[in-house]
Chain A
Amino acid sequence: MSDLEPSLLRRLKDRDERAFRELIEAHRDRVYNISFRMLGSRAEAEDVAQEVFIAVFKTIETFRGDSKFSTWLYRVAVNHCKNRIKYLARRHDRDRDELDETTNVQHGAVGAIGGPGPRAPDHALEAQQMETLIQEAIAELDEEQRIVVVLRDVEDLSIEEICKITDLPDGTVKSRLHRARLVLRKKLQRHVGESNE
């Protein structure tokens, strides 16, 4: 049932450092991307992603392997992001200066709206502006809506998997997703319309 090889799981439980590194290499980008889209800051995302893996390593012995490891990992990531959002809200630390750095080549970010391949500078700029707009719109969603929309529309996870990650019933996930999309649609409506013209 688990998507983690039994030999790797055994090595993880034996606290084999190389096994931990293998696990990080396999999942780091996805955990980081979820954290980044949830928090809107690379520095916060990196910090949270680190804490996620540390928490996973500390509790790996409790993972029984009867569910997907990725589901378990994303649940830990989502919980850490929720905690960090609350912490930042308490500190009123809403600085998202890095929003305009989403195409930062330092981190080797790839992928683009409209698919891979070279793009004209104006197209790239438009895509970057669109991405900034979406990230801002996501950041304005409430925490619960943000979780489901990031997992579904950004990470492309199934509704079933999101239910397992969030421990919510199917109907709740769907209604939060609909509400999130409604808000996003309204925020992006004008820009999407302009870009289509």
Chain B
Amino acid sequence: MSDERSGEDLIIVEVSDFLDGTLQGPDKEAIAAKVTSDPDYKRIYEEMLETKKAMSGMQKARAPATFAQDVTATIHKRSAGRFFGRRTLGDRVPFGALMIVAVLGLCMIAYLLWASQTGSLKPNPSRAPTTEPIPSTTR
């Protein structure tokens, strides 16, 4: 029984190599000839071919659509946002947001200056030039 098993195992090794295309020249021709003439080789070849076909024909499982986002989110989470840190100055500093803040700040300063009693932007009625004629005091 064990001899029979080892003999079959040997055929499987040869047929397996033959199917993988790793045999060359006379070795390949010898197995090809045995596969057509020897019933044991033929049976094992057909069974292994079917098995190999079934294996290679298995469905290709696909990763979920959000996989890339999930991986990068996990990296962000674990590294506390430090992993993807080496970016250019333009990427690292939010210049757009800073500009908006600066414009808002300038507007606020302008408003304060305008609203203030002592500010210089609001027109001061007490200092406004009068249009009435100045009475003559020479007499």
Contact = CB atoms under 8 A, between A and B. Distances in A.
Interface residues of B, number: 39
Interface residues of A, number: 57
Contacts of A110: 59-60, 62
B47 A109 contact: no
A24 B63 CA distance: 10
Interface stretch (A1-9, A30-38, A67-75, A81-89): A30-38
A166 interface: no
A54 interface: yes
Contacts of B87: 16
A80 interface: no
A133 B63 CA distance: 22
B50 interface: yes
B64 A107 contact: yes
A153 B55 CA distance: 6
Given A178-B16, A192-B51, 5 more contacts: A15-B86, A37-B61, A109-B60, A174-B17, A181-B12
Interface of B: 9, 12-13, 16-17, 20, 22, 44, 47-48, 50-65, 67-68, 70-72, 74-75, 78, 83-87
Lowest 10 CB-CB distances: which A-B pairs, in order? A113-B57, A153-B55, A32-B63, A24-B68, A28-B63, A17-B84, A36-B61, A192-B50, A111-B59, A178-B16
